[in-house]
Chains A and B, each alone.
Chain A
Amino acid sequence: NAGVIQTPRHKVTGKGQEATLWCEPISGHSAVFWYRQTIVQGLEFLTYFRNQAPIDDSGMPKERFSAQMPNQSHSTLKIQSTQPQDSAVYLCASSSDRNTGQLYFGEGSKLTVL
């Protein structure tokens, strides 16, 4: 089992450009979560899907952030008109256990907005 795969590992964009981050969850896992990690805020919840359906996007900044899960094997997080404050490590996690909700994280995508 390859674990959660995130691409790209590093992305540098200019202010105002668009960034798309990809996540491939562990095969058979029914839930996919996106978190943003910064030194100051730690791990902030963004959004999650269960069985491909969006369940909770209460952590998503409005207007510029969107997430999709078009099939069970991948999810995307898109940030439009990127700003320097969007610079962070974006972590994707998947889970198969609804009872405990144990999360399996990918290595993250480090986004740098210049």
Chain B
Amino acid sequence: QQQVRQSSQSLTVWEGETAILNCSYENSAFDYFPWYQQFPGEGPALLIAIRSVSDKKEDGRFTIFFNKREKNLSLHIKDSQPGDSATYFCAARGNSGTYQRFGTGTKLQVVP
């Protein structure tokens, strides 16, 4: 079963807008939530991550908002740029020593 869900397969925003990518999960034991960015022909690369003890993590234009009670999180990309066009994967992991589960990805297109 899909333990990590990304509700949108694709998202299109205009340059300069804030892109919001949503993710939800099922297992309350998950405590580490990374987001990966993937460009065509490349492997995913870690973009930003949050632990379940926090409700917000910010890194430049990228912010994760985390709601433990609702078991969902979102990635906000402020001032979106065409170079942000990529596929974004939400992932989750439980206690150390286990593997990360991934959502199916959201393909973001930023239109100039």
Whether the pair A105, B96 counts as a contact (CB closer than 8 A) is no
Tell me which of B43, B89, B104 contacts A108 (CB under 8 A): B43
A44's nearest neighbour on chain B, judged by CB, is: B102
User: How many residues does chain B have at the interface if contact means C-beta atoms less than 8 Å apart?
Assistant: 23
A34's nearest neighbour on chain B, judged by CB, is: B99
Among the stretches B12-20, B44-52, B64-72, the one at the interface with A is: B44-52
Do A105 and B99 form a contact, CB below 8 Å, given A43-B89, A100-B49?
A: no
A103 at the interface (CB under 8 A from B): yes
Do A100 and B43 form a contact, CB below 8 Å, given A33-B99, A42-B102?
A: no
User: How many residues does chain A have at the interface if contact means C-beta atoms less than 8 Å apart?
Assistant: 26
| Chain A residues within an 8 Å CB radius of B96 | 98-99, 101
A41 at the interface (CB under 8 A from B): yes
The interface of chain B, by Cβ under 8 A from chain A, is 32, 34, 36, 41-46, 49, 89, 91, 93, 96-105
The interface of chain A, by Cβ under 8 A from chain B, is 4, 33, 35, 40-45, 48, 50, 55-56, 91, 93, 98-108
